[in-house]
Amino acid sequence: MRITTFGDLILDVIVHLDGPLVVDDDRPAETLVGAGGQAANTAAWAAAVGGHARFVGKRGADPAGELAAGELRRHGVDVCGPIAGRNGVVVSIAATGERSMASDRGSAPDLAPGELEAAWFDCDVLHISGYALAREPIASAARRAAGLARELDARVTIDLSAWTLIDDDFRDRVRALAPDLVFANKAEYETFGDLSTEWIVKRGPGGVVVAGHAYPAMPTDVVDTTGAGDAFAAGYLVGGVTTGLQTAARCCAKLGAMP
């Protein structure tokens, strides 16, 4: 299975705490710095479960961009797209199995349609991060990417990414892409509204709903939930529901969003 993902490659800074942050005081932490971003995470997990994975996006011409791209390549992913400006950085605070994030996307949203190459979209599935539909010009680039992929008989899938992204412009952009499959959590699904497509609703520890059928999550010792939804999407696209759930469980059992 050949998967191309479209969106952001950022530098992920994961901070794992044993308890909540303490205002005006110190809290011991375990930290991890590496590649991240929804599209990059999905590509890395797709490669980890046996798919051929390619990432497409704009990344920074700075040390953060070099570090993130190098790690993604080490996971077996082809990294494609222009290099300019500064790379995005996301700080994720993980405590007691939950997470909060502070996001800076850097130059990623500046990706323009004219910067894409058709060969990048020779794949079986093009998977688009919802973050790529939140701003221009990357949203227009996503439309062109979908058109190029469909010219080569690829399916187009979308992850809605965050319910806070969903407004009328976002809905219009998703509908214009006419995705074959949409991944969403419960809040995203309910916020989006009507869309004629196949839905997969992710329910965290409650598992997933696929074609109206509920599948329980795989048991695991949760360390960090960062990237679990991306891991599920990758596993599902490569091998179906069981592979998706197994991959999400693997992700939750370790620190960080990458394999």
**Residue 87 pLDDT level (bands cut at 50, 70, 90):** very high
What is the topology classification, in CATH, of domain 2-252? Answer: UDP-N-acetylmuramoyl-L-alanine:D-glutamate ligase (3.40.1190)
Q: How far apart are CA 6 and CA 131, in angstroms?
A: 10
| pLDDT tens digit sequence for 201-241 | 999 899 999 988 999 999 999 887 888 999 999 999 999 99
Q: Count Cβ atoms within 10 A of the Cβ of residue 7 and give its class: 0-12 exposed, 13-18 middle, 19 or more buried.
A: buried
Annotated domain spans of the chain: 2-252
Q: Which of 103, 47, 39 is closest to 73 using CA atoms?
A: 47
So what's the pLDDT on residue 43?
98
Q: Is 194's pLDDT higher than 80?
A: yes
Confidence tier at 93 by pLDDT (50, 70, 90): confident
The pLDDT of residue 96 is 66
Number of H helices, E strands in the chain: 7, 13
- For residues 244 and 235, is the Cβ–Cβ distance under 8 A? yes
Per-residue pLDDT tens over the stretch 165-184: 999 999 999 999 999 999 99
- What the block records as the tokens of 95 is 């405590």
d(CA 107, CA 90): 13
- The predicted-structure confidence for 116-170, as pLDDT tens digits, reads as follows 999 999 999 999 999 999 999 999 999 999 999 999 999 999 999 989 999 999 9
CA 90, CA 101: separation in Å to the nearest integer? 7
Give the residues across from 137 on adjacent strands.
Answer: none
Residue 100, judged by CB atoms within 10 A of its CB (0-12, 13-18, 19+), counts as: exposed
Asked whether the beta carbons of 128 and 158 are under 8 A apart, the reply is yes
End-to-end CA distance of the chain: 18
Mean pLDDT of 69-88: 97
Q: CA-CA distance, 203 to 97, in Å (whole number)? A: 15
**97 pLDDT more than 70:** no
- 57 in Cβ contact with 85 (< 8 Å): no
Q: What percent of the chain has pLDDT over 90?
A: 79
Q: Between vectors from CA 187 to CA 109 and to CA 101, what angle results, nearest 5°?
A: 50
Which one has a higher pLDDT value, 196 or 12?
A: 196
From the list 83, 155, 165, 102, the residue with the least C-alpha distance to 130 is: 165
In contact, 9 and 39? CB cutoff 8 Å: yes
Q: Between residues 93 and 197, which one has the greater pLDDT?
A: 197
